[in-house]
Amino acid sequence: MTQAEIKLCSLLLQEHFGEIVEKIGVHLIRTGSQPLRVIAHDTGTSLDQVKKALCVLVQHNLVSYQVHKRGVVEYEAQCSRVLRMLRYPRYIYTTKTLYSDTGELIVEELLLNGKLTMSAVVKKVADRLTETMEDGKTMDYAEVSNTFVRLADTHFVQRCPSVPTTENSDPGPPPPAPTLVINEKDMYLVPKLTLIGKGKRRRSSDEDAAGEPKAKRPKYTTDNKEPIPDDGIYWQANLDRFHQHFRDQAIVSAVANRMDQTSSEIVRTMLRMSEITTSSSAPFTQPLSSNEIFRSLPVGYNISKQVLDQYLTLLADDPLEFVGKSGDSGGGMYVINLHKALASLATATLESVVQERFGSRCARIFRLVLQKKHIEQKQVEDFAMIPAKEAKDMLYKMLSENFMSLQEIPKTPDHAPSRTFYLYTVNILSAARMLLHRCYKSIANLIERRQFETKENKRLLEKSQRVEAIIASMQATGAEEAQLQEIEEMITAPERQQLETLKRNVNKLDASEIQVDETIFLLESYIECTMKRQ
């Protein structure tokens, strides 16, 4: 794990789970898999705190455990999974676009809690939806269940590996840790539950402030005494499926940018047809015949068969090679080259970064070197039609930033410099890795800056929160306009301006984080699929 990744993981864990969990998590990421006592000793935290932190991390699928010989249980952190926490808003938003509010809340609850049973999810979501509805209306459990089943069918949520049911005749002491197993077939199998009920509105009296006896504190374990019907069957969000969806989205929008709306619709149809038949790491989709595609086009689109064939030929002939022709039966068999598509997207990202950082002439040189694969300095000047001095300068700038590399080809066995060719080349994989590392560093910087800004204005933020709380409570008890006005004036005009500036800055930083994460997704997908191929 690189330093930048570890720093980012540390910031994310601290923001979401607090400092103790952060300390334990970062220690595990740094040192690899370790048993409980070693963790406690090395981090200097008490055993109880370590246990609590590990429970939280295991619940959220960030740490896994394994039993080694002699009964020692070792815990290992998944650094890449920690980095996924950046993407939670995008997962939730995607579900909203596909399954509307109910689906959005289901995925949100699953992500916030790590893993939950279906009954718990349905209850929580129904309660939340009921809160937002008008007085008197409630959300039925059945509707939430239906959405849950649909999410499971399209593989957006999956079952967690569960404790195997051992026979009671098993002699000897129980193992130090359960080995969780999951059957491939059962991963998306929804248990047969009849959840009957409606969402409950939270009584406003529960929200009264100080002096509440501890008994009224809401418990996250079930209040009811009856056994949960699907006890032990936990569900989690299937991040791979979301990634597949994002990848498809990226390909479709790339085609739309390059060609037109109709071709992007055709590509979208092809991808939708291959969702279930193709695994997420396959290099290309299953071949689809032109007839099939014609039948599966969305209802609104009435293009004739010939037009479809023309579009497919056009897509297949495109130098970007998103779509390839794999045969002639059935009117032409077409595949989508997923790996090539990801490579093109990563390359486009690199080009765009070079353009924005160094200027369009540099970008021209970059594209030239990409096209020619290996090219000498002199040839760069000629082909790019840029004066020698500037070309040299730009090449060196890109070389020093590691977007390009030099390849030496010696003419003589003694590698004498005067008799060696030096060729400029772009190694896309290493440039992508370099850029990814920079992205991690950027996000870490953004988060730090946001935390700094918030800390600077902490006093002011707290004051404004208090004033809001006072106003809210006064409005509830029915206060006059003049009194409310007076309370509002507790925050002076320059303070208000300061708050406005703070809000604007924090929004900007947050938006930047979201957008850098999009780049991270593209680069990571590209690197992952290239590594698999090798």
Partner 1 sequence: MAGNKGRGGCAAHTFNTEAVGFSKGEKLPYVVLKPPPLFPDADYKSVPLKTEDEEYMLALKQELRETMKRMPYFIETPEERQDIERYSKRYMKVYKGEWIPDWRRLPREMTPRNKCKNTGPKPEKAKDTDVLKKIEELGKKGDGENSEEENEKEEGSKEESKEGDDDDDDDAAEQEGYDEEEQEEENDYINS
Mark 339-358 with x for binding to partner 1 (rule: CB under 8 A) and - for no binding.
-----------------xxx
Q: Does 52 bind partner 1 (CB under 8 A)?
A: yes
Secondary structure in 3-state letters for 77-105? ECHHHHHHHHHHHHHHHHHHHHHHHHHHH
Contacts of 293 (CB under 8 A, 6+ apart): 266, 269, 270, 273, 308, 312, 334
Q: Does 38 bind partner 1 (CB under 8 A)?
A: no
Secondary structure in 3-state letters for 222-285? CCCCCCCCCCCCEEEECHHHHHHHHHHHHHHHHHHHHCCHHHHHHHHHHHHHHCCCCCCCCCEC
**Closest separation between CB of residue 371 and partner 1, Å?**
20
Choose which of 56, 118, 126, 139 interacts with partner 1 (CB under 8 A).
56
**Closest separation between CB of residue 95 and partner 1, Å?**
11
- Residue ranges in 355-394 that form contacts with partner 1 under rule CB under 8 A: 356-359, 377-378, 388, 392-393
Region for residue 323 given its phi and psi (left: phi exceeds 0; alpha: psi -120 to 50; beta: otherwise): beta
Q: Closest CB to partner 1 among 398 and 527?
A: 398
Choose which of 465, 475, 483, 501 interacts with partner 1 (CB under 8 A).
465
Q: Do 128 and 105 meet the contact criterion of CB atoms below 8 Å apart? A: yes
Q: Does 471 bind partner 1 (CB under 8 A)?
A: no
Q: Closest CB to partner 1 among 71 and 327?
A: 71
- Residue ranges in 287-346 that form contacts with partner 1 under rule CB under 8 A: none
**Closest separation between CB of residue 208 and partner 1, Å?**
10
Q: Do 30 and 55 meet the contact criterion of CB atoms below 8 Å apart? A: no
- Residue ranges in 236-275 that form contacts with partner 1 under rule CB under 8 A: none
Half-sphere exposure of 181 (CA within 13 A, CB side): 6
In whole angstroms, what is the distance from residue 488 CA to residue 475 CA?
Answer: 12
In whole angstroms, what is the distance from residue 317 CA to residue 437 CA?
Answer: 35
- Residue ranges in 508-527 that form contacts with partner 1 under rule CB under 8 A: 508, 510-515
- Residue ranges in 409-438 that form contacts with partner 1 under rule CB under 8 A: 416-422
- Residue ranges in 160-219 that form contacts with partner 1 under rule CB under 8 A: 162-163, 174, 176-178, 180, 209-210, 212, 214, 217-219
For 421-430, b/e burial (b = at least 16 CB within 10 A) is eebbebeeee
- Residue ranges in 1-30 that form contacts with partner 1 under rule CB under 8 A: 15-21
Q: Closest CB to partner 1 among 103 and 287?
A: 103
**Closest separation between CB of residue 31 and partner 1, Å?**
19
Q: Closest CB to partner 1 among 92 and 426?
A: 92
Q: Do 195 and 85 meet the contact criterion of CB atoms below 8 Å apart? A: no
- Residue ranges in 75-134 that form contacts with partner 1 under rule CB under 8 A: 88-90, 92-93, 96, 108, 112-114
